[in-house]
Chains A and B, each alone.
Chain A
Amino acid sequence: QVKLVQSGPEVKKPGVSVKVSCAASGYGFTNFGFSWVRQAPGQGLEWMGWISAYDGSSHHAQRFQNRITMTTDASTNTAYMELRSLGSDDTAMYYCARDRITVPGNKDYWGQGTLVTVS
């Protein structure tokens, strides 16, 4: 069955970077893409960006311009999201979600979430 397993919780100081991983199994890794979605405490879902595991093409939300890097590694079936220059408002649960291969669309499977605390 499809599974997305994310890396563990992180505590970071303001100004540094965090890199979250998302290990996929149970399907053809390069046949899909990944979206990264975060949720601040008590808030709604916020889409951060999408990457195709097929060709590495990507889109990201404008507010993360120059701060986010998304990558995939087909040799380990793992997607990564790095967020730089962390601030306290980046404290949130970060989710990876399986997405469409060519453009962002339905997010049909989700990881369990990675809590990132900036303090």
Chain B
Amino acid sequence: AQSVTQLDSHVSVSEGTPVLLRCNYSSSYSPSLFWYVQHPNKGLQLLLKYTSAATLVKGINGFEAEFKKSETSFHLTKPSAHMSDAAEYFCVVSVPSSNTGKLIFGQGTTLQVKP
């Protein structure tokens, strides 16, 4: 069975400092992994995705994530936080069986960016 665990429910950083949002996954198959961002009362925007190509994935707005199979991790990073990065972030794994495209979401990490 597939599952995803976001290790921090809340992360607070100062503007201009690095961001690290941690995610571990469990999958019986080679997973497809995604990070989505949700701003308050808004829909979800795809930041980046991993689908068994390069293990270091670059996304939008300066975010990137590294797939580490040995650690079953897919942590999201950004070198320098911006105030506009404050939002809810979801690590997501795709269920590969049955070609349903079903997504399993983590519980989310709230990123706070302080001036």
Pair from one complex: no
- Which B residues lie at the A interface, using CB under 8 A? none
